[in-house]
Amino acid sequence: MPVNLSAAKDATTIHADGGVPYYVPMGGECALFERAYKHRLPLLLKGPTGCGKTRFVAHMAARMGRPLYTVSCHDDLTAADLTGRYLLKGGDTVWADGPLTRAVRSGGICYLDEVVEARKDVTVVLHPLTDDRRLLPLERTGELIEAPPEFMLVVSYNPGYQNILKSLKPSTRQRFLAIEFGFPPEAAEIAIVAKESGLAEERCEPLVRLARRLRDLKGQDLEEGVSTRLLVYCATLIQSGMKPADAILSAMIEPLTDEPDIKAALLEVVAVTLG
- Cβ neighbours of residue 147 under 8 Å, at least 6 residues apart? 40, 104, 107, 129, 134, 135, 136
3-state helix, strand, coil in the chain (%, to 5): 45, 20, 40
Number of Cβ within 10 Å of residue 226's Cβ equals 29
Q: Which partner in Mg ion, ligand ADP, none is near 66 (CB below 5 to 8 A by kind)?
A: none
Query: Are residues 160 and 224 in contact, defined by beta-carbon separation less than 8 angstroms?
Result: yes
Catalog residues that contact Mg ion under the rule CB under 5 A: 54, 113
Angle, helix 228-239 to helix 201-215, in steps of 10 degrees: 140
Number of Cβ within 10 Å of residue 98's Cβ equals 25
Q: Which is nearer to ligand ADP, 112 or 138 (CB)?
A: 112
Residue of 44, 51, 110, 238 interacting with ligand ADP (CB under 6 A): 51
Q: Which is nearer to Mg ion, 29 or 113 (CB)?
A: 113
**What is the C-alpha end-to-end distance of the chain, expressed in Å?**
66
Residue of 11, 33, 54, 208 interacting with ligand ADP (CB under 6 A): 54
In the complex, the smallest distance separating the C-beta of residue 165 from ligand ADP, rounded to whole angstroms, is 21
- 200 vs 197: CA distance, rounded Å: 9
In this chain, which stretch among 46-54, 117-125, 127-135, 139-147 interacts with ligand ADP, using CB under 6 A? Answer: 46-54
Decide: is 46 part of the binding site for ligand ADP (CB under 6 A): no
Decide: is 184 part of the binding site for ligand ADP (CB under 6 A): yes
In the complex, the smallest distance separating the C-beta of residue 203 from Mg ion, rounded to whole angstroms, is 26
Supply φ then ψ for residue 66, to 5 degrees.
-115, 145
3-class secondary structure, 225: coil
In the complex, the smallest distance separating the C-beta of residue 191 from ligand ADP, rounded to whole angstroms, is 9
Q: Which partner in ligand ADP, Mg ion, none is near 108 (CB below 5 to 8 A by kind)?
A: none
Query: What angle is formed at CA 211 by the lines to CA 208 and CA 215, rounded to 5 degrees?
Result: 140
Decide: is 111 part of the binding site for ligand ADP (CB under 6 A): no
Decide: is 230 part of the binding site for ligand ADP (CB under 6 A): no
In this chain, which stretch among 33-41, 89-97, 101-109, 228-236 interacts with ligand ADP, using CB under 6 A? Answer: 228-236
Kindly list the residues in this chain that would bind ligand ADP in the complex (CB under 6 A): 22-24, 47, 49-55, 184, 192, 196, 228-229, 232
